Amino acid sequence: MSMQPPGATGETLRVDVAVIGAGLGGTAVASVVARAGYGVALVDSHALHPPEFRAEKLGGDHWALFERLGLAPAARPALTPIQSIDIHRPGTRPVRRRAPEYGFVYSDLVNALRAGRPPGIAVRVGRVDALETGPARQVVTLADGARIEARLVVIATGLGDAVRRLAGIARTETHKAHSLSLGFFLDRPAATYPFESLAWYGRGPSDRTAYLTLFPVSGAMRANLFVYRAAGEAWTRAFRTDPAPTLAALLPGLERVCGGLGVAGRVQVRPIDLTLSEGHQCDGVVLIGDAFCTTCPAPGVGVRRVLTDAERLCRVHLPGWLATPGMGADKIAAFYDDPVKRACDADAIRASLFARAMAVEPGPVWAVRRLRNGLVRRAAALFGQGVGRHEGGMVGAGMAGAGMVGAPTSGESGPASPGCHTRML
Ligand SMILES: Cc1cc2nc3c(=O)[nH]c(=O)nc-3n(C[C@H](O)[C@H](O)[C@H](O)COP(=O)(O)OP(=O)(O)OC[C@H]3O[C@@H](n4cnc5c(N)ncnc54)[C@H](O)[C@@H]3O)c2cc1C
């Protein structure tokens, strides 16, 4: 089911909360707030979320958030369950881990969440032309003249800048061209590979590679490759034009393990900047998800960050805000200061920087860290099992030996499994 068409010109809708951006975060917030009995409007410029390269794999900890937010029934039909992952690392024997994960097409997941939203959400499709904000009342004006009056505006427009700018909020690129994500399909059905899903790591700094992960999505084999390279460099151009040989050269042994390597269709290439919003402490408006900050896809922390924002906003802060008069910046600051949100964002940023440094940093400190991680993994492998036999005790972890031993974290959880944030070893 798609979103409804725009309201009549001149319409004024009065709600408690207006959510702008019906992606993962915005749809989650609108659904939770509506279920709690508040009046909600959900605005997006697209009736259906367009196909875009974003997160394509979820781990067990992500799924727990979907369940806690009541999104699991709507999300489930869009997901392909994955039971195991084979991990290939240079210098250690491959390991098969039990890893309850899910593959998906991002737009299918978002559209499923939109379709499964609870009744009562006033959905509007259109461009936001103006945003008037204040300590008590906010007015969103759409291009067709429709107006939405709300006590709070939630900006969940992801990478889009327009609405944030209307609110006078800037975005700073803290790490420009931090990494490059490549997404593509292999040319054979997923069932023809000798593994269900796979993670394959780079050999060292000269590879400039975090890892490749292969996983099933609706019967096809999808690939996400995370590298620390520029979009315009020769290697990236070669990958676009001749992906299979370029991939085989990057990860020797992959072609043999796959039983041949072919790429179907176009390679999607997405440069990743790490960004933070600036000046977001203002009356009447709160930013969530990628609208607030963006991190690197390699450690797989984005979905957790977005849904943690949704959970903390809807379950911890919003009920109190709506129960008392006013919606000033001082009230909203409690969300940005929320210790769980802050720890989640900080972990995500740390994980993004750590994963890059572990993959590409020269110098003795990182060389020693890589060596230490290799030794820890070899020791773990002595007590583990090789490919062909499942390793027990990893259900829900999906850690997959992501190479993040010793990553500095807030202590609660750490970065990095292949595409799915999980606990560290
Ligand atoms: C290539 C790539 C790979 C990734 N891989 C992973 C991964 O493996 N694991 C992981 O956890 N995370 C990953 N991420 C991060 C994750 O996908 C994002 O953090 C998450 O999707 C952001 O959700 P969101 O709700 O903030 O934004 P989105 O889901 O992007 O939603 C934004 C919405 O706002 C709407 N919008 C934009 N502008 C306007 C406007 N002016 N008016 C109205 N509506 C507007 C859009 O149409 C869209 O519906 C990846 C990101 C990228 C780019």
When pLDDT is averaged across residues 94-98 and rounded to a whole number, the result is 94
pLDDT attached to residue 92? 86
pLDDT at residue 3 is higher than 90 = no
Place of tokens 């997941």: 109
Average pLDDT, the chain: 89
Q: What angle do the packed helices 302-311 and 24-35 form, to 10 degrees?
A: 20
> Which tens digits make up the pLDDT trace of 346-394?
999 999 999 999 999 988 888 888 888 888 877 776 765 544 333 322 2
pLDDT attached to residue 287? 98
Residue 378 or 49, more confident: 49
Tell me how far apart the terminal alpha carbons of the chain are, to the nearest angstrom. Answer: 42
Atom of ligand 1 nearest to the CA of 56: 8
Of 101-105, 122-126, 401-405, least confident by mean pLDDT is 401-405
pLDDT attached to residue 363? 87
Residue 271 or 419, more confident: 271
Please, where are the H alpha helices in 230-278? 234-241, 243-250, 254-258
Confidence band for 265, pLDDT divided at 50, 70 and 90: very high
> Which tens digits make up the pLDDT trace of 160-203?
999 999 999 999 999 999 999 999 999 999 999 999 999 999 99
> Which tens digits make up the pLDDT trace of 210-244?
999 999 999 999 999 999 999 999 999 999 999 99
Atom of ligand 1 nearest to the CA of 301: 11
pLDDT attached to residue 10? 72
What span, in angstroms and rounded, lies between the C-alpha atoms of 344 and 410?
A: 8
Taking residue 279's Cβ as centre, other Cβ atoms within 10 Å add up to 12
Kindly state the tokens that stand for 394: 């990893």
CATH 2.120.10.80 fits 12-54+107-173+274-347, yes or no: no
- Choose which residue among 29, 224, 268, 290 to substitute to test ligand 1 binding: the one with the highest number of ligand atoms within 8 A of its C-beta: 290
Burial 54-86 (b: 16+ CB within 10 A, else e): bbbbbbbbbbebbeebebeebbeebbbebebbb
Residue of the CA atom closest to atom 2 of ligand 1: 54
Nearest to 9 by CA among 129, 89, 165, 119: 129
Please, where are the H alpha helices in 126-272? 162-166, 234-241, 243-250, 254-258
pLDDT attached to residue 384? 59
pLDDT at residue 422 is higher than 50 = no
Q: Identify whether the C-beta of residue 51 lies closer than 8 Å to the C-beta of residue 171.
A: no
Distance 41 CA to ligand 1 centre (A): 19
Domain extent listing, the chain: 12-54+107-173+274-347
Give the pTM.
0.91
Quick one: what percent of the chain has pLDDT higher than 70? 87
**140, amino acid identity:** V
Of 102-116, 268-282, 330-344, 399-413, least confident by mean pLDDT is 399-413
Nearest to 419 by CA among 310, 319, 287, 303: 303
pLDDT attached to residue 424? 26
pLDDT attached to residue 406? 39
Distance 290 CA to ligand 1 centre (A): 6
Four-CA torsion 350, 276, 71, 110, nearest 10 degrees: -120
Residue of the CA atom closest to atom 18 of ligand 1: 302
What span, in angstroms and rounded, lies between the C-alpha atoms of 318 and 135?
A: 15
Nearest to 328 by CA among 134, 38, 140: 134
- Choose which residue among 49, 54, 171, 304 to substitute to test ligand 1 binding: the one with the highest number of ligand atoms within 8 A of its C-beta: 54
Nearest to 214 by CA among 228, 227, 201: 201
Distance 23 CA to ligand 1 centre (A): 6
Q: What angle do the packed helices 243-250 and 234-241 form, to 10 degrees?
A: 130
List, chain by chain if needed, residues with CB within 6 Å of any ligand 1 atom.
20-26, 43-46, 49, 53-55, 57, 110, 127-128, 156-158, 160, 162-163, 181, 270, 289-291, 297, 300-303, 306, 419
Residue 396 or 268, more confident: 268
pLDDT attached to residue 15? 98
Contacts of 285 (CB under 8 A, 6+ apart): 131, 133, 138, 152, 153, 154, 155, 167, 169, 332
What span, in angstroms and rounded, lies between the C-alpha atoms of 310 and 293?
A: 14
Atom of ligand 1 nearest to the CA of 270: 1
Place of tokens 């107006």: 147
Confidence band for 11, pLDDT divided at 50, 70 and 90: confident
Rg (CA), the chain: 22
- Choose which residue among 42, 48, 157, 422 to substitute to test ligand 1 binding: the one with the highest number of ligand atoms within 8 A of its C-beta: 157
Q: Identify whether the C-beta of residue 409 lies closer than 8 Å to the C-beta of residue 350.
A: yes
Instruction: Give, in order, the Cα–Cα distances in Å from 341 to each of 35, 304, 316, 317.
Output: 22, 10, 11, 12
> Which tens digits make up the pLDDT trace of 302-343?
999 999 999 999 999 999 999 999 999 999 999 999 999 999
Instruction: Give, in order, the Cα–Cα distances in Å from 167 to each of 24, 40, 45, 278, 337.
Output: 21, 19, 17, 11, 20
pLDDT at residue 158 is higher than 50 = yes
pLDDT attached to residue 61? 86
